[in-house]
Chains A and B, each alone.
Chain A
Amino acid sequence: MATFQFDFVGPERTLYSGQVEAVQLPGSEGEMTVLPGHAPVITSLKVGVITVTEHSGAGKRIYVQGGFADIGPKAVTVLAERAAPIEEISPATIDQEIEAAEMARDATQDPAKREELNSQIVQLREARFTLNL
């Protein structure tokens, strides 16, 4: 099957780079799976898990917390601010994140900020759910 170049870069290092068959991304407007020859799209990502299929039956899962995906017909680049291989993430670490976000929400008075943190907490809960599967 056809493949395309997939790069996954964080600010401090490149986390993944290679030829893959498909990538499943947690786009801000919904989950999407990218196959070779995709139309050019730039999308923002929410908290979630990226599933990389290198070839049928073999792949990798990466936990990502916000960022961007630059999708083109020949390559996909994901710019993530915070990310880690799925093995390094446990539900407990996400629970900590949720707790920190909730504390920040309760501490702030600004309604716009509260709204933003609320949606972040919802996203984290969703991510925790996918992780448990």
Chain B
Amino acid sequence: MPSLKDLRNRITSVKATQKITKAMQMVAAAKLRRAQNAAENGRPYAEKMANVLGNLAGNLIGGVDAPRLLSGTGQDRVHLLVVCTGDRGLCGAFNSSIVRLAREHVRKLEAEGKTVKIMTVGKKGLDILRRQYRDRIIESMDIRGTKPVDYAFASEIADKIVARFNAGEFDVATLFYSEFRSVISQIPTAQRLIPAELPATDGSTTTGAGADAAMEFEPSEEAILETLLPKNLTVQVYRALLENAASEQGARMSAMDSATRNAGEMIKKQTLVYNRTRQAMITKELIEIISGAEAL
């Protein structure tokens, strides 16, 4: 039976924890709003880029001289998995569900006899994957603190992927991140980066040119595609980072919300036990006094 003092201490400590989780929840809510705004602001660029690329690549796909970033190396032996997670924990199953999806892919690919290489973005993913796949991790990056994701960071990642691809280190690249649906639902997603997965276009552009209209290209179609493809890769990485940022805050928000509720329940239960013990003690003391008086 814990003493009254123990119980009091326990209640104070749970109350302190509840204050922290509550504060974290509110911070996450504010950050989530910012992350969602950033995701919305970045959308027009990604859409227009996909549009231009769709138009360009439609003519070239299947061609012999299509750039390798678009058509791949023609092989399917070495796979690169780019796993994007957060830098920090305390956000429910956010990090572990992304890693779980990546791990399933690793297992499946290795069962098919393929070589797997892993590149991690974010500290948490590295921490978890290092235990099991230490020898397969070829590169790891931190998101660096809490500052919001910027385009420069995405382009840094994309540059590294392209450099390794050009060096012939892998044939297929897949990006893992968490897609943000709502505060309570984030879906771990795998997206193929190389060879490029092209968005389906209906052939018409936003600029009012029909599919069959003769497009002119300056300097040339190939030259534009050559510079556009790495940019498209950057945009996809950037989008994944934005989705991830929103997902992380959403996951943290709901995790902290339930933590706060659990703390509340705990306090209620502990207070009940505390009051009962206190009452029992008072009764016991009274009985002692009365029986002492009677004995006289």
Contact = CB atoms under 8 A, between A and B. Distances in A.
A89 interface: no
B48 A42 contact: no
Contacts of A7: 44, 48
Contacts of A68: 52, 224, 228
Contact of A79 (B45, B56, B209, B214): B45
B56 A42 contact: yes
Contacts of B227: 44
Interface in A6-31: 7, 9-14, 27-29
B41 A14 contact: yes
Contact of A43 (B48, B214, B218): B218
A28 B226 CA distance: 15
Contact of B49 (A13, A14, A71, A79): A79
A60 interface: no
B207 A72 contact: yes
B265 to A, nearest CB: 43
B218 A44 contact: yes
B83 to A, nearest CB: 22
Contacts of B215: 40-42
Contacts of B41: 12-14
A118 interface: no
Given A11-B235, A41-B215, A79 B151 contact: no
Given A9-B44, A43-B218, A73 B207 contact: yes
A75 B217 CA distance: 16
A71 B207 contact: yes
A68 B55 CA distance: 14
B216 A41 contact: yes
B208 A41 contact: no
Given A11-B238, A75-B206, A75-B207, A40 B216 contact: yes
A76 B48 CA distance: 11
A28 B52 contact: no
A111 to B, nearest CB: 17
A79 B206 CA distance: 13
Given A29-B218, A73-B208, 12 more contacts: A11-B45, A11-B151, A11-B154, A13-B41, A28-B218, A40-B215, A41-B216, A43-B217, A44-B219, A72-B209, A73-B209, A76-B207
